[in-house]
Structure 1
Amino acid sequence: MSHPPAQAPAMHHIAIGRRGAPGVVFAHGWGRSHRDFIPTAEALAPVARAVLPDLPGFGATPRPEAAWDTGDYADAMAEALRGGLVDGPVVWVGHSFGGRIGLRLAVRHPDLLTGLVLVAAAGIPRAQPLVEQLRGRWRSRQFRRLKARATDQAALEALEDRFGSPDYVQSRRDGLRDIFLKTIAEDQSADLRRINLPVTLIYGGRDTETPPDLGRRMANAIPGAEYVQLDPCDHISVLDRGRHQIALAVKEKLVAQVAP
């Protein structure tokens, strides 16, 4: 049995839609905020009560005191949901990092969810071509070699800016490096077949951060999951150009929730 993490910060959030309507929670990606999902939530306002939190460490919500993993984030969200953040079980919509948390919730707290909509979700390792693996190893060796010669913090940070991913670099600036390293290394592959909820996965055809192949592999591993690919979209534009498809996937799960 999981337990809520100690000293979880109070989560800043907004609510959109009529009270008493079926609940939907929108969880943003790494380095983002609740604002990403406002247009989609507004489109669902006539049929749903949407809650859009800033996850701990992002937006207006303070970071947790400890270095959380996605299980800790899921347990904190479960505590908030059981505490009345939304009435009844919800459809969880998670983008990227928010998708990682949704996968954890579906396994650890399935009673709180009626379905999952995973948008460009992370959660399993990317399949890397050999040339990309070799390039990554070479850059890693270069970084370690130059790091050993660095004489001060400014030099180290300049090397990180040169060799690190944008999220890795930003995690230092946001004071979230420990959480980033803990969550980015997680592999939820073994848990995917344990998910017993309606799941729709939506990925952009031009996404290089969570590419379509990753989404297809996740969909194949989750029993009964539906995979949708939006070819013109990348990792971020899928939230805007794909908002109608996201809203449709949520509506389908809300209809199934009330069907006799």
Structure 2
Amino acid sequence: MMDQLFSTASQPAPPLPALVQRLGAQARRCVTPCGQGDLVWHVWGQAREGVAPLVLFHGGSGSWTHFVRNIEPLLLAGRELWVPDLPGFGDSAVSPLGGDADGMVEPLYQGLRSLLGDRVCELIGFSFGGMTAGLLLAAHPDAASRLVLVGAPAMGVVPQRQFELKAWRHLPDAAAQADIHRYNLAALMLHDTALIDGLEGLALQLHVANVMRDRLPRRRLAHTDILARSLPALSCPVHAIYGAHDALYKSWIHQLEAAFAASARDFRGMTLIPEAGHWVQFERPEAFHAALMSALG
């Protein structure tokens, strides 16, 4: 969701944290076509009869690491995880169909069909990835049996943008850039600002590594009501999980549930996680896991 502030990296990203390296080493890497390159999928766990695979879409200016604190609990719960780097982010090539959520739908759907065959997944989308998931299921209702939206934008609730971010690429040194990264994390992603440098700097390190690999500088759909307009086409159950202090909505957060109920044909409810902001699954992983397990039944 970091918009035009973060595009092609001008310098190498710093080394990834040990947790990311360890989880990355445990994953199977699959690729499917995406324009002039590959759509990269990170896969953990094994298929289980009668249990749908979980497909997780990360947020804008992100990668699979948006779920770094959730992968091991989901594996312990016996779930098989498929987590792509969305087109234009992380290790994945840019979609030839455009640099916003609507341009990602076909490469992602074709990738799902290629990798999962006739298996139907349960789809979890965080932020920009939630909007992308809604567009994908509106175009291809057969792709998933359930949709869980986490901190998703584009519900047409807020009258104007609720946050402002600062540019950083023009700054001459890494320390000055890091100050801006901290500001942006506090402005949008995290309610508990102590987490920016806490956990051995995990949030800040992930954020820097991710925004430096964002190749999509002009995304605009997140500031529309396109998700609300897409949900009526979905026949599957729809659930919502948000941080109670999500910076996308702020005082408008309590209008969201009614907006979902008005848009989704089979809306199963919304969970607000206390003391959490936009990046709710990172900030409150235990509470998020409980809410997600409840949504998945």
Identify whether the pair has TM-score above 0.5, normalized to the shorter chain: yes
Mark the CA change 1:214 to 1:50 in structure 2 (over 3 Å): closer, same or farther.
Answer: farther
Aligned residue number for residue 25 of structure 2 = none
**Count of equivalent residues:** 219
Give how far 1:84 is off. Answer: 1.3
The residue correspondences of 1:156-167 to structure 2 (distance < 5 A) are none
CA RMSD in angstroms comes to: 3.4
Q: Which amino acid aligns with 2:261?
A: N
Q: Please, which runs of 5 or more residues in structure 1 have no aligned partner?
A: 137-153, 155-160, 256-260
Conserved 8 A contact 1:30-1:97: yes
Q: 1:42 aligns with which of 72, 76, 79?
A: 72
8 Å Cα contact 1:23-1:86 kept in structure 2: no
Whole-Å separation in 2 of the counterparts to 1:205 and 1:111: 32
Q: Distance in 1 between matches of 2:38 and 2:231?
A: 29
Greater relative contact order structure (CA < 8 Å, 6+ sep): 2
Give percent identity, aligned residues only: 24
Match of 1:184 in 2: 222
Contact 1:114–1:253 at 8 Å: present in 2 too? no
8-17 or 222-231: bigger deviation: 8-17
Larger CA Rg, structure 1 vs 2: 1
Which residue of structure 2 aligns with residue 258 of structure 1? none
In structure 2, distance between residues paired with 1:190 and 1:90: 23
Q: Which runs of 5+ in 2 are unaligned?
A: 1-32, 165-169, 171-179, 189-209
Picking from 228, 235, 240, the partner of 1:196 is: 235
User: SS at the partner of 2:130?
Assistant: helix
Partner of 1:219: 260
Residue 35 of structure 1 aligns to a residue whose secondary structure is helix
| Counterpart residue number, 1:80 | 111
Query: Distance between the aligned counterparts of 2:47 and 2:36, measured in 1?
Result: 26
Aligned letter for 1:11?
L
1:1-260 equivalences under 5 Å are 7=35, 9-20=37-48, 21-45=51-75, 46-65=77-96, 67-85=98-116, 88-128=119-159, 174-178=214-218, 180-181=219-220, 183-188=221-226, 189-211=228-250, 212-213=253-254, 215-221=256-262, 222-225=264-267, 226-236=269-279, 238-252=280-294, 255=297
Q: 1:82 to 1:126 in 2, by over 3 A?
A: same
2-side partners of 1:217 and 1:98: how far apart? 21
After TM superposition, give the deviation of residue 29 of structure 1 in Å.
0.4
Query: Normalising by structure 1, what TM-score?
Result: 0.70
Q: Distance in 2 between matches of 1:234 and 1:253?
A: 20
